[in-house]
Amino acid sequence: MKIKVLNTVDPIYSEVELKKLKKYCEIKTELYSRKKAIRYLKNCKVILAGGRIKIDNELIQKAKKLKLILSPSTGTDHLALDTIKKKKIKVVTIAKKFKLINKFTATSELSFCLLLSLLRKILISFNDAKKGVWSRDKNVGFQLKDKTIGILGLGRLGKISAKIARGFQMKVIAHDIKKIKVNGVKNVSFNNLLKFSDVIFIHVHLNKSTENLINLKAFKKMKKNSILINSSRGKIINEKDLLYALKKKIIAGAGLDVIDGEWLNKKKLSKHPLITYSKKNNNLIITAHIGGSTVESIKMARDYIFNYLLYSIKKREI
């Protein structure tokens, strides 16, 4: 009898691996409908967990036979980890697969894309150009050379961003609780990072100590011309405080690849306060969590979890 698997991971670029799995598994792919996912879960032993459908307490309770959750992600905020642990369900992500994820530079690259879009007023200029308005003098920006970038979290992505920043001839400072040493990077306190940075990149994981870490108190310590870039998780920033800081020009701008509420439906998401603000204001840019969305990173991450499942089945671990 084939093993029943709920797949909420878009299998694009991994068709070969999925085909191998189908010899052993009955796989139901559901990328959008939570109701359909719950309906299929009853007899599933495995969930391949993407980010579009949250694997929360309700889903876990419905999956009475669940033994394994695999996710091609470094973050786990789409998983109800406390409930999963109580149920003794095994979870595998790519968070500590360093040989694999060290090949992924996509998220750091996108952080600089957001930064440059704000500093060089790219979207404003593009919208003008589409109207036949050659607004060169109006859209004067800033260069990165000699600016100070503060990197919050000097792990894998922080190190990649530091290397890119040095290529732009930026001064690099960082704050990390582990006090990691990187050539060309000066370690500073959290307060000094806020105080002296022209640009701040958030590269820390979301946990109890980092939730709402960037709040109004933090914004008031930042430079008025500073730019905040978040490609980590939405809840690290207090979003009400961010809106206030942008409206009152406490900081110059923000580029976000993540927000708190990514799993909301389209109607609710379109009314999200940050998205609503961005429609009429040019000092906030939001992208739809595309930091890791490159052909290279998607394929390698998804191939890993599909092959992990295949290996586990062949070893009769499931």
- Render pLDDT for 124-138 as a digit per residue (tens, 0 to 9): 999 999 999 999 988
Q: pLDDT band for position 157 (50/70/90)?
A: very high
pTM: 0.90
262 among known catalytic residues: yes
Residue from 233, 239, 296, 317 carrying the catalytic annotation: 233
**What is the residue extent of each domain of the chain?**
3-100+296-314, 106-286
39 among known catalytic residues: no
pLDDT of residue 209: 96
Q: What percent of the chain has pLDDT over 70?
A: 100
Residue from 26, 58, 109, 262 carrying the catalytic annotation: 262
3-100+296-314 matches 106-286 in fold: yes
Domain 3-100+296-314 in CATH 3.40.50.720? The answer is yes
In the block, tokens 């967990």 appear at 49
Is residue 1 over pLDDT 90? no
Pairing of strands 185-187, 90-92: unpaired
DSSP annotation of 234 reads G
- Map 225-289 to HEC letters: CCEEEECCCHHHECHHHHHHHHHCCCCCEEEECCCCCCCCCHHHHHCCHHHHHHCCCCCEEECCC
pLDDT of residue 309: 97
- Render pLDDT for 251-281 as a digit per residue (tens, 0 to 9): 999 999 999 998 888 899 999 999 999 999 9
Pull the structure tokens for residue 58: 């309700």
Architecture label for domain 106-286: 3-Layer(aba) Sandwich (3.40)
pLDDT of residue 11: 87
Residue 137 Cα distances to 121, 125, 130, angstroms: 12, 10, 17
The C-alpha atoms of residue 31 and residue 12 are separated, in whole angstroms, by 12
Query: In angstroms, how far is CA 30 from the centroid of its own chain?
Result: 21
pLDDT of residue 168: 98
- Render pLDDT for 85-112 as a digit per residue (tens, 0 to 9): 999 999 999 999 999 999 999 999 999 9
